[in-house]
């Protein structure tokens, strides 16, 4: 079914006259990792993207990932992809970007990550963090990195200020997907100098069944980035209800240091907290975590990532962990 969605999405945007692609890039990334949470993991992503002669852009991504154990409570290696030992279509969309008079108009249709906050898979998978922020992990019933939409999104504005609206239906991957129904999202993003900020609002179906999670899920988020001299500060704050009668509020702040004299090394740190009310008591009422790490670009296609972290609040999680991963990526044009 998901493969069918991929094919249909691409077929929708590639008109027969334009079937001859102006550009096509194929990319593969393979990751192997180990965590002191007693987990090993392996993952592979395949991507194809490019642009037709009619200036339609297309993007498709397949992912397979598995972990050595399913009986361990850990979000290691779940930064952007599910580890369900299944082949999943992650994104599959067509897109048209127009620049009338310097303005931006972009229409996207198909299957895509909901544009809530810092939402790009690359933003979470390749900066050097091996775990998702707690406010981005589906098991915590927040706005997960494994949420996907079947729908349409429209972005309009000027580079300094854009508004994006998306409507669709949940089509998540992983073990904690939202139930069906229509949902909607709006996001406003602006920048001034080196400071970029956005506000997002999402109304969607809850994760879990209606018997467990009645009503609707609504989330509001604020995200910001600032960067200068190779030092980036970024973060998100999210507040909302995962279903009627429950609340989730959390934030994370990342420091990413990649000064030119550091060569291939990117140093990272993350501070985060998630507070929950009205949810599963076994998970505790909060999770607090600090992560330090680095990503080293060993060669053009090979990178090594190391994270050490300390966490508290959720009794199911070990207080300390070390995660190591190697990613190899290759691209053909």
Residue 156's beta-bridge partner residues? 105, 163
DSSP codes joined into one string, 290-313 = EEEEEEEE-SSSEEEEEEEEEEES
Question: How long is the chain?
Answer: 333
CB of 96 to another protein, least distance (A): 11
Q: Which of 175, 170, 207 is nearest to 185 (CA)?
A: 170
Told to check if 99 binds another protein by CB under 8 A, we report yes
Q: Which of 100, 122, 209, 282 binds another protein (CB under 8 A)?
A: 122
* Diameter over CA atoms, the chain: 58
Residue 309 exposure: Cα atoms within 13 Å on the Cβ side: 31
Q: Which of 120, 220, 280, 320 binds another protein (CB under 8 A)?
A: 120
The residues in 40-59 that bind another protein, with binding defined as CB under 8 A, are 49-51, 57, 59
Told to check if 98 binds another protein by CB under 8 A, we report no
Q: Whole-angstrom Cα distance, residue 288 to residue 313? A: 6
Told to check if 267 binds another protein by CB under 8 A, we report no
Q: Which of 45, 124, 44, 74 is nearest to 322 (CA)?
A: 74
Residue closer to another protein by CB (options 164, 314) is: 164
- Strand ranges, E, within 68-208: 87-98, 104-112, 149-158, 161-170, 183-192, 195-204
Could you tell me which stretch among 93-101, 131-139, 165-173, 177-185 binds another protein (CB under 8 A)? 93-101
Site size with another protein, rule: CB under 8 A: 51
Could you tell me which stretch among 104-112, 167-175, 215-223, 244-252 binds another protein (CB under 8 A)? 104-112
Give the CA dihedral 174, 179, 182, 184, nearest 10 degrees.
-50
Backbone angles phi, psi at 136, to 5 degrees: -120, 20
Q: Which of 245, 301, 315, 319 binds another protein (CB under 8 A)?
A: 301
Residue closer to another protein by CB (options 7, 302) is: 302
Residue 179, Cβ neighbours under 10 Å: how many?
A: 15
Told to check if 325 binds another protein by CB under 8 A, we report no
Q: Which of 180, 300, 310, 316 binds another protein (CB under 8 A)?
A: 300
Residue 125 exposure: Cα atoms within 13 Å on the Cβ side: 21
Residue closer to another protein by CB (options 120, 320) is: 120
Could you tell me which stretch among 140-148, 259-267, 268-276, 313-321 binds another protein (CB under 8 A)? 259-267
Residues that bind another protein (CB under 8 A): 23, 25, 27, 29, 49-51, 57, 59, 95, 97, 99, 102, 104, 106, 108, 120, 122-123, 126-127, 155, 158-159, 162, 189, 191, 194, 196, 225, 227-230, 232, 258-260, 262-264, 266, 297, 300-301, 303, 327, 329-331, 333
């Amino acid at each position: 079914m998901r493969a069918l969605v991929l094919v249909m999405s691409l077929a929708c945007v590639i008109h027969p006259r334009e079937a001859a692609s102006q550009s096509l890039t194929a990319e593969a990334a393979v990751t192997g990792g180990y965590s002191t949470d007693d987990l090993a993991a392996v993952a592979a992503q395949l991507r194809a993207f490019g642009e037709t002669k009619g200036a339609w852009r297309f993007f498709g991504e397949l992912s397979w990932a598995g972990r050595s154990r399913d009986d361990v409570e850990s979000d290691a290696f779940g930064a952007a992809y599910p580890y369900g030992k299944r082949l999943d279509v992650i994104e599959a969309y067509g897109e048209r970007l127009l620049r009338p008079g310097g303005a931006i108009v972009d229409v996207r249709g198909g299957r895509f990550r909901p544009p809530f906050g810092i939402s790009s898979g690359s933003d979470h998978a390749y900066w050097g963090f091996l775990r998702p922020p707690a406010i981005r992990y589906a098991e915590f019933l927040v706005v997960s990195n494994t949420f996907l939409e079947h729908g349409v999104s429209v972005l309009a504005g000027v580079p300094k200020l854009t508004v994006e609206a998306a409507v669709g239906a949940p089509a998540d991957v992983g073990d904690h997907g939202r139930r069906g129904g229509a949902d909607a999202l709006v996001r406003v993003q602006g920048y001034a100098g080196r400071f970029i900020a956005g506000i997002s609002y999402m109304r969607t179906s809850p994760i879990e069944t209606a018997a467990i999670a009645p009503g609707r899920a609504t989330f509001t988020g604020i995200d910001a980035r600032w960067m200068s001299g190779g030092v980036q500060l970024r973060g998100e704050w999210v507040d909302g209800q995962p279903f009627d009668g429950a609340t989730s509020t959390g934030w994370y702040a990342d420091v990413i240091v990649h000064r030119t004299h550091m060569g291939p090394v990117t140093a990272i740190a993350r501070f985060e907290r998630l507070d929950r009310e009205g949810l599963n008591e076994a998970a505790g009422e909060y999770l607090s975590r600090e992560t330090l790490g680095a990503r080293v670009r060993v060669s053009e296609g090979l990178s090594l990532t190391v994270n050490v972290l300390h966490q508290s609040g959720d009794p199911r999680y070990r207080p300390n962990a070390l995660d190591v991963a190697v990613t190899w990526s290759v691209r053909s044009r």
